Amino acid sequence: MNNSGSKLPLRVAIAGLGTVGCGTFELLDANHSLIERRSGRAIEVTAVSSRSRNKDRGLDLSAVAWFDDAVEMAKTAEADVIVELIGGSEGIALEVVREALLSGKDVVTANKALIAHHGTELAELANEQGRSLLFEPAVAGGIPAIKMVREGLAANSFDRIYGILNGTCNYILTTMRETGRDFDGVLKDAQDLGYAEADPTFDVDGIDAAHKLAILASLAFGTEINFDAVDVSGIRSVSALDIELAEEFGHRVKLIGMARRVGNGVEQFVKPCLVPVNSPIGGVEGVFNAVAADGDFVGQLMVEGRGAGGGPTASATVADLIDIARGQKLPVLGMNTDRLHGSQEIDTSERTAALYIRLSVKEEVGVMAAISSVMAEEEISLESFVQHNSEEGEPVSLVLFTHEAAEEALNKALERINALPVVLEPAQTLRIEAL
C-alpha cells in the first residue's frame, strides 16, 4: 500500500479474516490513495490472525505478519489499531479487545454482542488507557447509525430511537408478504441464499437486533448499556395470515427495535410490530435495515441501507480507522462513563401498548359480546374488529385492533379471553406502532 504522506502510516492488525475481515483488507487496498488523502496519512495492514492459515481468501498476505493466536497479536503486533472481527460476547474476542487496550492500542470492532454485554466496562478501560474504542460496524452494517446518534445529533435530546435492525428478519417478513408463504419455508430459502445462518437463532429470535438496540439506547439516552433490559420476541410465530390481515388494514409486519422514554426510565423492546404501510419504516424491504431517531430540535431522521455483508460492514470499519488516523478522539459511548446514568429501567406498570389480536373462535351467537365484555371490564377500548367467515361449521377468525392500554390490563384480558369456551386456541398478538 502507498505511503506518500509526511505522517507515518496508521498500522492496523486484523483479528478474523471472514467476510468482513477480507472486505476490510480489500477496501484498504483498493481505495488506499483516496483514504490517505481523506485521513492525512496512509492506513496499512501490518498483521492478521485467523483460524486457518492455508485457506485461499484471494488476498495477498505476503507483506503482513501472520499470528495463529489473536490474543498474542493484540499484545505484541507492530500495530497502532487492532480490528476485532472474530465475534461472540465472550472468549477470544473479549480477550483480544482487553489486551489491545491494555497494550496501548486503539480498537475497532464489528462485534455487537461484545459491546452489548461488555461495552460499558470496555469503555472505562479505553478511557483509563487513553485509547479509542470504535464500533460503527457493529450496528446496521454500512449505515452510519452510531455516528448519526453520537456525533451528528449530539446536541439533541431524544424521545425515541428505533429501527429495523436485522436484515434476515426483514427479508423473511417481506418474502412472506409477497408470496403468501409461511415462516419455515421462507427461512429455508433465506438459508439457501445465504441471508440466514444454518443456525438462525440469533437473527429470527431477535437477539441480534436486541444487541444493536441496547447500544443505540445507551448512545441516545446517556445510560449504561443494559442488554438484559431489552424485552425480546422474534418472528417465528408470525404467520402469513397475520401479514395478509395487517395489509388489509394498511399495515405491514416488521421486526422493530425500539428504545423510548417512559416516565423517568427508558423502555427497550424488540418485537414484531404492525407499522403503517405509508410510513418511512413501512417501506423498508428485503435485506435492508433502517435506523430512525426523534430529536427535540432536529425532528425525525431516518437512515436506510444494507445492514450486513462484507462490503457495507467493511465500509463502516474503515470509516472508524479513518477517524483514528485523523486523530479524532471521542468518548466511547458519547460521554465519559462517569456521566452515564444507570440503566433507567421502567416499572412494568408504566408499560402501554396497542395490539392486533387474532382469535380462532367457534361460529356461535354471542362470541363478540363475550369478548367485548372482557375488554370493557379491563378498561380496554377497541379501535376496530373484523370477522373472517369460513365454511359452515369451521372456526371463524376474529381480528381486533385495540387502542393503547396498560400492558398489564392487556395481558389480563388475553388470559381471560383465551379461557373462554368459544376460543379454540391462544390468541395471536402483535404490537401496533404508529411510526
Positions marked active-site: 212
Rounded Cα distance, 336 and 204, in Å: 34
Rounded Cα distance, 384 and 402, in Å: 7
Rounded Cα distance, 266 and 73, in Å: 39
For the chain, give the number of residues: 435
CA distances (Å), origin 195, targets 18, 57, 192, 286, 369? 16, 21, 8, 10, 46
* CA-closest candidate to residue 258, choices 298, 296, 219, 230: 230
Rounded Cα distance, 322 and 307, in Å: 20
DSSP, collapsed to helix, strand or coil, labels residue 369 as helix
Please state, as a whole number, how many other Cβ atoms lie within 10 Å of the Cβ of residue 126: 22
C-alpha cell at 265: 426510565
Q: 247-277 burial, b for 16+ CB within 10 Å, e for fewer?
A: eebebbbbbbbbbbbbeebbbbbbbbbbbbe
DSSP, collapsed to helix, strand or coil, labels residue 191 as helix
Cα 408 to chain centroid distance, Å, stands at 27
Query: How many C-alpha atoms does 20 have within 13 Å on its Cβ side?
Result: 26
Torsional sign, CA 325, 326, 327, 330: negative
Percentage helix, strand, coil for the chain under 3-state DSSP, each rounded to 5:
40, 25, 35
Q: What is the dihedral of CA 369, 375, 378, 381, to 10 degrees?
A: -130
Which residues does 30 contact at the CB level (< 8 Å), separation at least 6? none
The beta strands (E) that lie in 263-351 are given as 265-276, 288-295, 299-306
